[in-house]
Chain A
Amino acid sequence: MGNAKSIKIMRSSLGRARGLGSAKSGVGHWWAQRLTAIALLPLSLYFVLSVLLLDGANQAAMQRYMAEPWNGVLFLALIFALFHHLRLGLQVVIEDYIHTEAKRLAALLAMRAAVVFFGILAALSVLKLTF
């Protein structure tokens, strides 16, 4: 010995590895992020097109646009994929940068609540315009 520093951990390698691996829900999160990303490729192009078509529109024009069945369906699909995708992304950001367990949990819960709130607000608004 003779060195000031030494490793004092006496747990086995298996004990250290347990609970640190990918055997939680990593694949589900990863896959859902890719799935929603692929869905958002055509949907975001559709959204960009819609914004150009609705440039300067009044509320009546907005209502006419959403009342078209395809527009209502595509906007609802966009909202679902978008809010799901951003929830998964923001979750990773929070998990990466907030290291205190309590603060991280609070941030994750607050983020999830906000995402659900604004997601429902957007979906309900489209539904109201649709009918």
Chain B
Amino acid sequence: MQDVREAFMQGRNSTGAMVQRPLSPHLQIYRPQISSTLSIFHRIAGIALSGGAVLLSLWLAAAAASPSAFAVAQSLADSILGMIVLFGFTLALFYHFCNGIRHLLWDAGYGYDLPTMHRTGYAVLICSVGLTVIFWFIGLVVG
């Protein structure tokens, strides 16, 4: 035994023989569920948004540097590729925002039972897509 933590993973099977228990959660055998899927996407969105924060600081730095540097930054954001990337960031932002509220409510002790958890999960999906659509509607049509 290399690690003391392995001592917690020893058990006996039905015949009484000592066995090494598998590490849980065992992702390879779990069927994806709404709860676990939304959970991992919260993390993925958070990591992506960290990249977005880097882009935000570069955008602000371009504005602080010179009018021509900011013009380049704005034209990049206005290009097709730029818009696709920004669309992904708005979706990630609104998803992390909505699911973050869900997490804060859990921290406060609300919404732990399964039916509520599933309902709030779908509500998060609908809200984040809805907010993204509203944002791009205002940006492209109204603004």
Contacts and interface: CB of A to CB of B under 8 A. Distances in A.
Interface of A: 3-9, 11, 16, 34, 37-38, 40-41, 44, 48, 52, 55-60, 62-63, 66, 75, 79, 82-83, 86, 89-90, 93, 114, 118-119, 121-122, 124-126, 128-129
Interface string B9-37: 01000000111100000000000000000
Q: Looking at chain B, what size class is its interface with the partner chain?
A: 35 or more
Given A41-B97, A89-B46, A122-B60, A5 B71 contact: no
A9 B64 contact: no
Q: Which 8 A-B pairs have the closest CB atoms?
A: A122-B57, A125-B64, A125-B60, A59-B67, A59-B70, A5-B18, A128-B64, A118-B57
Contact of B66 (A59, A89, A118): A59
Q: Is the interface of A mostly helix, strand, loop or mixed?
A: helix
Contacts of A7: 1, 7, 10
Nearest to A6: B18
A75 to B, nearest CB: 8
Contacts of B80: none
